[in-house]
C-alpha cells in the first residue's frame, strides 16, 4: 500500500514517525488568559449547561418541546431533588478518617443492618425524580422516547454501579446494577411501547444494540427478562392461540448460523439445570406460540445475542428486524431429549444489521477484505489499534495531507500549572478509597465504572498521571490508554471524510481525544478563514444542552481554566474526521492528568449512547459565541449548511 498516493494524501513513509511522536511544542504562545495560581477557576461557557447570564437563548437552544415528552434539557427535576452528596457524606461508621471495612466485634451485625438501611434510604432518594412520560407515551413510543428511556436507564445504571463500586450502596450480594436500575425505571413508569404488538416497535430501529436484556424490555422490544420467546394473546381468541412476538437468539442451544438471514432457533425448556435432568420439550408457552406464529405467518422480531468480542465475558444484543417462521420440526438434542426447532427467514428489504457484524468479523480475521480499503492503518502505527482508510463512494484516495499525532500539543507557555495531586496508591486506585488524592480531586467520585465507562459528566475529570505511583492499568487511566476501538476513516456521500468504528461502542466509552496543536484566537481565525478547513476545536462555543447524567444529578459547567482552541489542520488524530451533527452520538468532556508536576488539559470524546458498528460518529460543533469583541457574528469560521439529516437539525453549523 505504498504506491498510488498523490502528494495530497496521508503520509505513509515511516520517516514521518519521529515527527509523529514528537510532542515538543512547535512554538511559544502567550497564554490567552493568564490566571492567578490559586484563583477561582475561570468558568467558560457550558456546552451543556444553562446559558450564561447575559445571553438570551436563541432558536436552537430555547426549549421548543412543550409536549409531555420529557425534555431532559429542562431542569424540571430539581425541585424535589435531594442532593446525593448529602447521603454520600454520611459516615459509613464512626470512623476517624481511616475507612477500613474490617468490622470486628459484636457490632458487625448491627452495622450490616444499618448499611442495608442506608442503602434503602439512598435508593429511595434516587427514586425521587419525575418520570416525565405520559400514559400514552408509555403505550406507544417513538425514536425520541426510546432513546430517552435508554439514556436514562443507563445513567441510572452507571450511577448505581459507581456507588456500588465505592461501597456506598449494597444491592444484595449480587452486582446487578442493571436489574436494579431497570426495576426502578419500571416502577417509575419510565418505559415505552408497553403495549405488546406484532412487528415493528415504534422508535426501535433495525441495527440498534443493547447490553442488557432489561433494555429490550424497557423499550418494548422483548419483555421477558430471561426467557427467549415473547408472545401475546390475540384479542377475541383463546389463550391457546397466543402468537410469538419476538425471540432472543443467544446461542445457548448450539444453533449454527451460516446465512445471516436465516436462523434456526431452539424451543424453550427441557434443558438440564442444577436440580433437574434434561427432559423433552413441551409444546407449551413460547414453543406453542412459535408454532401458532408459524401457521399464522406473522412476523417475529429477532434479537441476536452475540458474544461481545470487545469484552469477552459479556454479551451484546443486536436487533435484526423481522423474520418469518418457515419451518418447524422436532429433533433429538445432545441430551437425547426432544427439542423443537424453528427455522426463521429474514424479511427481505430490511437494512443490514447482524450481517454487518458478520462482515466485520470476516474483515478482522482477514477472511474477506474490506471493500474500498485504501490503507489498513493510516496512523502508521502511531495508535495501538489500526485505523482503516476506506472509500466506497468515489475515487478520492485520501484526505488532504496531515501528520498523524495521537495527542494534543501544548505550547510551552500554555501548560496549566497546578499543585500536584498525585495519589499515593501503590496498586490500583480503589473506588471508595477516600485517601486517594486523585479520587478526592474528582470530588470523591471514581470517574469510571467497569469497562472504563464514564460514570457521568463532570466539570473536569482528573485521571492518575505519570506522577502517580499506581499501576499502569489503574482504572483511573482511561483516556491516556489510547484508542479502544478499531476505527475507520471513510468517505461519506456528501460530507467529506467521516469517522466510524468496526466495533460496537457502549454508552460512556472513551472514543478518542482531540489531538492537534493548541493555538490562539488570531491563528484560529486565519485557519478558519483561509478556505475553511474546519479542523479546529473550540472549548468556548455554545452547545445545545443535553442531559446525560442521572436524573437529579445536575450537569455543571465545565471547569476549564481558560478557553482552549486546538487546530488539527496540520497534525491530529481520528478526532479531526468527526463530522458535526445536531443529534450527535458523541460528546466531549475535559480531562486532566499530570505530567512532570504540570497538569495538561485534554479534550476527550465519549459515546453518548450505544453506537452500533459502522455508524458514523458525530459531535455537536457548537456555535461561536459573542465574546464582546465583535468577532463572533461574522463567523470567520464560516457558516456551513448542515447535512446531518437529523430531525432536530438546526440547518447550519460553523
Partner DNA sequence: GTTTGATCAGAGCC
Partner DNA sequence: CGGCTCTGATCAAA
- Note the residues at the interface with DNA (CB under 7 A): 172-176, 178-180, 182-183, 186-187, 211-214, 217, 223-229, 231-232, 239, 248-253, 255, 265-266, 268-271, 274, 285-286, 305, 312-315, 450
Alpha helix segments (H runs only) across 274-320: 285-296
Instruction: CB nearer to DNA: give 211 or 600.
Output: 211
DSSP label of 7: T
Decide whether 305 or 624 has the Cβ nearer to DNA.
305
Residue-wise over 296-318: b if at least 16 C-beta within 10 A, else e? eebbbbbbbbbebeeeeeebbbb
Min dist CB 231 to DNA, Å, is 7
Q: Which cell numbers in the block locate residue 541?
A: 462555543
Task: Give burial (CB, 10 Å; 0-12/13-18/19+) of 8.
Answer: exposed
Nine-digit cell at 488?
A: 475507520
**Helix H or strand E segment including 143:** helix 143-165
Decide whether 43 or 123 has the Cβ nearer to DNA: 123
User: Which residue, 252 or 529, has its beta carbon nearer to DNA?
Assistant: 252
Q: Identify the CA nearest to 190 among candidates 142, 134, 144.
A: 134
Instruction: Tell the smallest beta-carbon distance from residue 224 to DNA (Å).
Output: 6
Considering the complex, state which of residue 231 and residue 497 has its C-beta at the smaller distance from DNA: 231
**Could you tell me the smallest distance in angstroms from the CB atom of residue 404 to DNA?**
26
* Phi-psi sector, 651: left (phi>0), alpha (psi -120 to 50), beta: left
Return the closest-CA partner of residue 603 out of 554, 545, 540: 540
- DSSP letter at 451 equals G
Phi and psi dihedrals of 481, rounded to 5?
-85, 0
* Residue closer to DNA, measured from CB, 333 or 411: 333
Q: How far is the CB of 150 from DNA (least distance, A)?
A: 14
Provide the 3-class DSSP secondary structure of residue 124. helix
- Residue 582: C-alpha distances to residues 38, 386, 534, 640 (Å): 37, 29, 16, 13
296 three-state secondary structure: helix
Spatial contact of 545 and 555, defined as CB atoms under 8 Å apart:
yes
In the bound complex, what is the minimum distance in angstroms from residue 118's beta carbon to DNA?
17
Nearest residue to 301 via CA among 237, 239, 378, 228 = 228
Min dist. Cβ of residue 554 to DNA (A): 27
- Nearest approach in angstroms of CB 77 to DNA is 22
Q: Name the minimum Å distance from CB 276 to DNA.
A: 8
**Which DSSP symbol is given to 50?**
P
- Complex with DNA: residue 249 or 592, whichever CB lies closer: 249
Our CB check for DNA shows the closer of 108 and 314 to be 314
Residue placing its CB nearer to DNA in the complex, 225 or 403: 225
Residue with cell 436440580: 275
Cα distance between residue 163 and residue 175, in whole Å: 11
3-state DSSP assignment of residue 210: strand
Burial of 344 (0-12, 13-18, 19+ CB in 10 A): buried
Q: Which CB sits closer to DNA, 246 or 391?
A: 246
The minimum distance between CB 133 and DNA, in angstroms, equals 16
Q: Smallest distance, Å, CB 272 to DNA?
A: 9
Report the nearest approach of DNA to the CB of residue 612 (Å): 17
Cell output for 545: 444542552
Task: Name residue 203's beta-bridge partners.
Answer: none
Judged on CB neighbours under 10 Å (0-12, 13-18, 19+), 243 is buried
Q: Least Å distance between CB 476 and DNA?
A: 18
Q: Indicate the residue among 250 and 597 with the shorter CB distance to DNA.
A: 250
Burial of 415 (0-12, 13-18, 19+ CB in 10 A): middle
How far is residue 577's CA from residue 491's CA, in Å, rounded to a whole number? 10
**Nearer to DNA (CB atom), residue 362 or residue 648:** 362
CB closer to DNA, 265 vs 446: 265
Output the smallest distance, CB 447 to DNA, in A: 18
φ/ψ region of 592 (left if φ > 0, alpha if ψ in -120 to 50, else beta) reads beta
CB of 209 to DNA, least distance (A): 12
CA distances from 143 to 257, 580, 624 (A): 30, 20, 30
- 231 or 354: whose CB is closer to DNA? 231
By C-beta, is 231 or 621 nearer to DNA? 231
The nearest distance, CB 182 to DNA, in angstroms, is: 6
Q: How many residues does the chain have?
A: 654
Amino acid at each position: 500500500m505504498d504506491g498510488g498516493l498523490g502528494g495530497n494524501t496521508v503520509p505513509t513513509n515511516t520517516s514521518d514517525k519521529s515527527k509523529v511522536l514528537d510532542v515538543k511544542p512547535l512554538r511559544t504562545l502567550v497564554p490567552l488568559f493568564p490566571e492567578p495560581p490559586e484563583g477561582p477557576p475561570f468558568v467558560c461557557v457550558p456546552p451543556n449547561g444553562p446559558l450564561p447570564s447575559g445571553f438570551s437563548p436563541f432558536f436552537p437552544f430555547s426549549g421548543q418541546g412543550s409536549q409531555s415528552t420529557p425534555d431532559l434539557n429542562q431542569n424540571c427535576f430539581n425541585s424535589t431533588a435531594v442532593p446525593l452528596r448529602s447521603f454520600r457524606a454520611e459516615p459509613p461508621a464512626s470512623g476517624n478518617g481511616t475507612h477500613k471495612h474490617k468490622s470486628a466485634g459484636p457490632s458487625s451485625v448491627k452495622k450490616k443492618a444499618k448499611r442495608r438501611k442506608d442503602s434503602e434510604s439512598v435508593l429511595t432518594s434516587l427514586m425521587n425524580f419525575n418520570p416525565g412520560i405520559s400514559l400514552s407515551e408509555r403505550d406507544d413510543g417513538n425514536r425520541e422516547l426510546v432513546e430517552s428511556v435508554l439514556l436514562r436507564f443507563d445513567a441510572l445504571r452507571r450511577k448505581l454501579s459507581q456507588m456500588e463500586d465505592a461501597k456506598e450502596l449494597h444491592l444484595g450480594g449480587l452486582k446487578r446494577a442493571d436489574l436494579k436500575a431497570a426495576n426502578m425505571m419500571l416502577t417509575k413508569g419510565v418505559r415505552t411501547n408497553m403495549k405488546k404488538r406484532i412487528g415493528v416497535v415504534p422508535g426501535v430501529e433495525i441495527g440498534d444494540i443493547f447490553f442488557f436484556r432489561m433494555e429490550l424490555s424497557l423499550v418494548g422490544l422483548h419483555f421477558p427478562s430471561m426467557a427467549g420467546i415473547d408472545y401475546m394473546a390475540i384479542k377475541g381468541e383463546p389463550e391457546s392461540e397466543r402468537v410469538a412476538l419476538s425471540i432472543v437468539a443467544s446461542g445457548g442451544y448450539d444453533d449454527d448460523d451460516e446465512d445471516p438471514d436465516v436462523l434456526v432457533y431452539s424451543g424453550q425448556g427441557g434443558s438440564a439445570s442444577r436440580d433437574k435432568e434434561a427432559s423433552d420439550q413441551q409444546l407449551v408457552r413460547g414453543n406453542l406460540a412459535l408454532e401458532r406464529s408459524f401457521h399464522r405467518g406473522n412476523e417475529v422480531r429477532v434479537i441476536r445475542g452475540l458474544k461481545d468480542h470487545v469484552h469477552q465475558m459479556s454479551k451484546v444484543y443486536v436487533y435484526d428486524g423481522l423474520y418469518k417462521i418457515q419451518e418447524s420440526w422436532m429433533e433429538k438434542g445432545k441430551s437425547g431429549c426432544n427439542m423443537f426447532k424453528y427455522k426463521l427467514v429474514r424479511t427481505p428489504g430490511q437494512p443490514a444489521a447482524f450481517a454487518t457484524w458478520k462482515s466485520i468479523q470476516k474483515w478482522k480475521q482477514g477472511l474477506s477484505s474490506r471493500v474500498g480499503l485504501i490503507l489498513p492503518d493510516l496512523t502508521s502505527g502511531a495508535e495501538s489499534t489500526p485505523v482503516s482508510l476506506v472509500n466506497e463512494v468515489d475515487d478520492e484516495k485520501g484526505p488532504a495531507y496531515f501528520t498523524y499525532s495521537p495527542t494534543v500539543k501544548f505550547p510551552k507557555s500554555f501548560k496549566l500549572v497546578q499543585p500536584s495531586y498525585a495519589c499515593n496508591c501503590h496498586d490500583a486506585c480503589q473506588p471508595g478509597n477516600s485517601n486517594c488524592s486523585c479520587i478526592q480531586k474528582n470530588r470523591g467520585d471514581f470517574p469510571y465504572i467497569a469497562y472504563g465507562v464514564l460514570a457521568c459528566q463532570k466539570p473536569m475529570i482528573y485521571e492518575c498521571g505519570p506522577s502517580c505511583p499506581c499501576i499502569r492499568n489503574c482504572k483511573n487511566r482511561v483516556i491516556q490508554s489510547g484508542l479502544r476501538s478499531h476505527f475507520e476513516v471513510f468517505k461519506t456521500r456528501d460530507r467529506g471524510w467521516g469517522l466510524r468504528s468496526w466495533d460496537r461502542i457502549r454508552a460512556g466509552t472513551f472514543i478518542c481525544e482531540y489531538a492537534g496543536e493548541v493555538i490562539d484566537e488570531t491563528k484560529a481565525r486565519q485557519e478558519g478563514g483561509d478556505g475553511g478547513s474546519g479542523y479546529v476545536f473550540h472549548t468556548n462555543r455554545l452547545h445545545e444542552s443535553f442531559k446525560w447524567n442521572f436524573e437529579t444529578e445536575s450537569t455543571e459547567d465545565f471547569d476549564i481554566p481558560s478557553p482552549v482552541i486546538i487546530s488539527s489542520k496540520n497534525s491530529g488524530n481520528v478526532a479531526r474526521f468527526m463530522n458535526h451533527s445536531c443529534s450527535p452520538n458523541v460528546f466531549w468532556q475535559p480531562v486532566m492528568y499530570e505530567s512532570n508536576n504540570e497538569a495538561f488539559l485534554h479534550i476527550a470524546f465519549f459515546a453518548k449512547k450505544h453506537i452500533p458498528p459502522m455508524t458514523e460518529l458525530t459531535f455537536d460543533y457548537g456555535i461561536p459565541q459573542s465574546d464582546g469583541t465583535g468577532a463572533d457574528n461574522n463567523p470567520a469560521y464560516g457558516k456551513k449548511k448542515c447535512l446531518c439529516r437529523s430531525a432536530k437539525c438546526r440547518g447550519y453549523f460553523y
